[in-house]
Structure 1
Amino acid sequence: MKKLSLIFLASAILAACSNDNDLVRKADRLHKCFLTVDTHCDTPILLVSSDYDLGERHEEACVDFPRMKEGGLDAEFFAVYLAQGPRNDDAYNIVYQKTLEIFDSIHSNVRKNFSVAELALTPDDACRLKKENKISAFIGVENGYAIGVETGRIREYYDLGARYITLCHSNNNDICDSSTDPHGPEHNGLSVFGEEVVREMNRIGMMVDVSHISDEAFYDVIRITKAPVIASHSSCRALCSSPRNLTDDMLHSLKSNGGVIQICILSSYISTPEPNPEMDARFEELTSKYGEFVKLSEDQKKSYRKEMRKIFDKYRKPATVADVLDHIDHVVQVIGVDHVGIGTDFDGGGGVEGCMTVDEMKNITIEMLRRGYSNKDIKKIWGGNIMRVMREVQELASV
């Protein structure tokens, strides 16, 4: 009897391994058949501050072209990220020059690697590059602080290749309130200037990104916009209580708008962490050591992020690919499969167990297959939905 039980156990293990191998092979085939898009990575931070070449493999970071190929990711939105700083003329001039510098670093990296990647401006570009076996490098601006108080900058950044602007980041700016500003709301949503920004983005065909903004600002955007919006890297508040995530009511508003939420795979937005006083104490020490983040030099910010990552790695158990799929499942159950995608936030804190770097992206597809998602629905989640929104936004533009 014992021998028979062992035979059954061995058979079950072999069957499971065979099934997993089948899923891997199917995921490989799917990634070759349809366009796969990640709507947010912060890798350009590395491009500006070092000789980082996207065409080379970098084990210390999350994204580069060789590992995009390995992970079956066809298109990446590279973020032109600006930390929120002072709001005066001198600061706006500095951040404007910094913005141009980041754009240039992306452009030069893509030009250097023309044999494997090109700048993409439209969904048609991405489809063409997929057929040519090339990577699509899209650009998004993270934090409307980059435009200062000049709506004309929106067109300028669009002409440089940006196809979305995240209206704010971790603090309030002149456009709107942030969901995480420690001082609370300043405008109670969008400012008057913020309303102008949304209308101008609609006019030129730039996607409005509602990640990071406050709930009140989100509803103001939905009320004002004439085009679908995106949440380029957010998750579901019903599953994780972070204010960075969208409530179910916000998801319903997003559906009515025709927009899409791109699930962020940063652990803090996927699973609610258990209380950890020791980790909190280490973060307090880090804050005391460096002071206010926005006032740090680039080298100091780099050191801060490195030390912060060490604290996370030591004290926090990361979320998993299965947890990410729980968020995708939730969106599908609440508003349907036409309104969800993936925005990793790689090199900005994103990464979960099973998908810590871009070469592991197929593990998300494998989990979708394991849960019974159809090929058609996986295609929508991996790029079809965000490309639909992008196309509609560009078609609704009046210039």
Structure 2
Amino acid sequence: MHKIFTLLLAGSALFSFGQSIEQKAAQIHEKVFTIDSHTDTPLKFFNGDFDIGLEHDGRKGEGKVDISRMEKGGLDAVFFAVFIGQGDRDSLGHAKAYEKAEQIFEATHQEVKKNSKKAKIATTPKQGYQLEKKGKRAIYLCIENGYPLENNLDNINHFYNLGARYITIVHSHNNDISDSSTDKVGPEYDGLSAFGEEVVERMNELGMMVDVSHASDSAFYDVLKLSTKPVIASHSCARALCDNPRNMTDDMLKALAKNGGVIQMCILSDYVKKLEQSPERIEGRKAFRKKHSNWANYTEEERKVGLRDWYQLDVDFPPNLATVSDAVDHIDHIVEVAGIDHVGIGTDFDGGGGLQDCYDASELGNITLELVKRGYSEEDIRKIWGGNFMRVFEAVAAK
């Protein structure tokens, strides 16, 4: 019996020895539960001309996530963000934001329902794992920018009931909840507002994750001080490697680890590596901003045209992009500073995310390949690709 066992081990070792690093990475990628914690794909659904059940070409401005490319990229689950850009902070502006959020939730539910044989809306970590076993894609929902809450805490419950499981409390400009990391006006509250503190408390009570990506440093620390549950940064990188205010300092990474939270490494190049862009692209972006300077007050048709023009920029003036190696440098750094239990992946696909060699969801296996090349174990990769995020998700959801 012992000899037979020894021969089996020897055969196993020989198989491993003859296995290429690409085969090993593909095998690990297939085995682990993978989740992308942040994409802006619902912007495509709302246009009414995008079917998630069909395969598209991201390099033609058609979007970077659909079911086919999730399957090709071995992506088991994804968070679709109901993104609302910051508009006027008055009763009319808030009402419009609330209405827009409602419409995007409805469009997303309908889009997934049309493709129910291959994907389903999920609201709990358990459902994600169950759908993976059935060979289906798990679609989770979230809100990017707390603007649609209308200063009404009960709207948190309402959006939770529509499926939202985290809220990115602020976006590129200050709102009534929090200071933004990138508002040129500067801070209003030096962190969270009084309403923002109530938002965090209500989200904790409800079991909804608080997302600090886009929040100012002061707001980040306010959230950590106040929250009784672990916190997420759904799509951010390390500021030590790329000095962007959207990224997190080493002290912030350590504080997030102490909180038990997780930072989801983002593959939007501006957050990964400082890169020079072509003069043509710079001028193209200037022309876009000049043409679409009144976004908050757009009609639905004007908004659709604006979104098409935005995605077309990358077709007409392809950006100079960072690489998977550059992105995994951030994972290395976060692991060194915060530990292997506090890092994951949130691509920001369809919101600007994409690398030279991981341009859309079909190429996500390239990240796993780079991790294997750098010596990460299967268990490490399991944590990075979903284990860490799902641990936080479970902890927050627990009553």
What TM-score, normalized to structure 1?
A: 0.90
What's the counterpart of residue 264 of structure 1? 266
Tell me, yes or no, if structure 1 residue 332 matches structure 2 residue 332: no
In structure 1, the residue matched to 2:364 is 361
* Displacement of 1:298: 4.4
Question: 2:386 — aligned with what?
Answer: 383
CA distance, structure 2, for counterparts of residue 21 and residue 108 of structure 1: 43
Structure 1 residue 312 displacement after superposition:
5.5
Shift of 1:48: 0.8
- Count how many residue pairs are aligned between Structure 1 and Structure 2: 378
Q: CA deviation at 1:246?
A: 0.5
Residue 13 of structure 1: aligned partner: none
Alpha-carbon distance in structure 1 between the residues aligned to 2:279 and 2:244: 18
Could you tell me how far apart the structure 2 residues matched to 1:125 and 1:68 are?
A: 18
Confirm or deny that 1:318 pairs with 2:321: yes
**Which region of structure 1 is more displaced relative to structure 2, 25-34 or 270-279?**
270-279
Separation (CA, whole Å) in 2 of partners of 1:55 and 1:351:
21
Distance 1:197 1:290, change over 3 A: same
What are the Cα deviations for residues 212-237 of structure 1, in whole angstroms up to 9, with x where unaligned?
01111111101100000000011111
Rounded Cα–Cα distance in structure 1 between residues aligned with 2:318 and 2:67:
31
Q: What is the Cα deviation at residue 101 of structure 1?
A: 1.0
Residues 1:375 and 1:312: Cα distance change in structure 2 (over 3 Å) = same
2:101 equivalent in structure 1: 99
- Match of 2:79, SS state, is strand
Could you tell me which residue of structure 1 aligns to residue 155 of structure 2? 153
Query: Judging changes above 3 Å, is the alpha-carbon distance between structure 1 residues 267 and 303 closer, same or farther for their aligned structure 2 residues?
Result: farther
Distance 1:23 1:61 in 2: 30
Letter in 2 for 1:245: N
Mapped to 2, the partners of 1:318 and 1:193 lie a distance apart of: 39
Aligned with 1:181 (options 168, 180, 183): 183
Deviation at 1:108?
1.1
Q: Determine the structure 2 residue equivalent to 1:23.
A: 21
**Aligned-residue offset at 1:50:** 1.8
What is residue 8 of structure 1 aligned with on the other side?
none
SS at match of 1:51: coil
Given that 1:144 and 1:166 are in contact with CA atoms closer than 8 Å, whether structure 2 keeps it comes out as yes
Aligned partners of 1:311, 1:112: CA distance in 2, in Å? Answer: 30
Q: Take 2:280 and 2:63, find their aligned partners in 1: how far apart are those partners?
A: 27
Q: Distance in 1 between matches of 2:318 and 2:364?
A: 25
Match of 1:47 among 45, 48, 67: 45
One-letter amino acid of the counterpart of residue 34, structure 1 = V
The partner residue of 2:250 within 244, 248, 251 is 248
Find the aligned partners of 2:110 and 2:367 in 1 and give their Cα distance.
31
Q: Which residue of 2 aligns with 1:14?
A: none
Segments of structure 2 that go 5 or more residues without pairing to the other structure are 1-16
Contact 2:95-2:148 at 8 Å conserved across structures: no
Alpha-carbon distance in structure 2 between the residues aligned to 1:112 and 1:286 = 33
Show the counterpart of 2:4: none
Query: Offset of 1:104 from its aligned partner?
Result: 1.0
Letter in 1 for 2:366: N
TM-score relative to the length of structure 2: 0.90
Say which is worse superposed, 294-303 or 116-125, in terms of deviation. 294-303
Alignment correspondent of 1:64: 66
Q: Pick the aligned partner of 1:288 from 290, 310, 333.
A: 290
Q: Distance in 1 between matches of 2:32 and 2:288?
A: 44
Q: Is the 8 A contact 2:26 2:369 kept in 1?
A: no
Distance in 2 (CA, whole Å) between partners of 1:55 and 1:358 is 14
Looking at structure 2, the residues matched to 309 and 352 of structure 1 have their Cα atoms a distance apart, in angstroms, of 15
SS at match of 1:105: helix
Instruction: State the partner residue of 1:142.
Output: 144
- CA distance, structure 2, for counterparts of residue 282 and residue 56 of structure 1: 30
CA contact (8 A) 1:165 1:209 kept: yes
Q: Do 2:277 and 2:319's aligned partners in 1 also have CA atoms closer than 8 Å? A: no
Amino acid at match of 1:239: L
- 1:180-219 mapped onto 2 (5 Å cutoff): 180-219=182-221
**Root-mean-square deviation (CA), in Å?**
1.9
Please say if residues 290 and 304 of structure 1, whose CA atoms lie closer than 8 Å, have aligned partners that are also in contact. yes
Cα distance in 1 between the residues matched to 2:137 and 2:175:
34
- Matched-pair contact (CA < 8 Å) for 1:325–1:368: yes
CA distance change for structure 1 residues 189 and 20 in 2, over 3 Å: closer, same or farther? Answer: farther
Task: Report if the CA contact (8 A) 1:138-1:163 is conserved.
Answer: yes
Counterpart of 1:351 in structure 2 is 354
Contact 1:290 1:296 in 2 (8 A): no
Q: Which moved more, 1:109-118 or 1:227-236?
A: 109-118
Alignment partners' CA distance in 2, 1:230 and 1:299: 35
Specify the alignment match of 1:6 in structure 2. Answer: none
| TM superposition shift of 1:279 | 4.8
CA gap 1:151/1:71 in 2 versus in 1, 3 angstroms: same
CA contact (8 A) 2:276 2:320 kept: no
Q: CA deviation at 1:25?
A: 2.0
Offset from partner CA, 1:48-96 (integer Å, 9 cap, x none): 1123121111212100001100100000000011111111222222221
Q: Matches of 1:58 and 1:87 in 2, distance apart?
A: 36
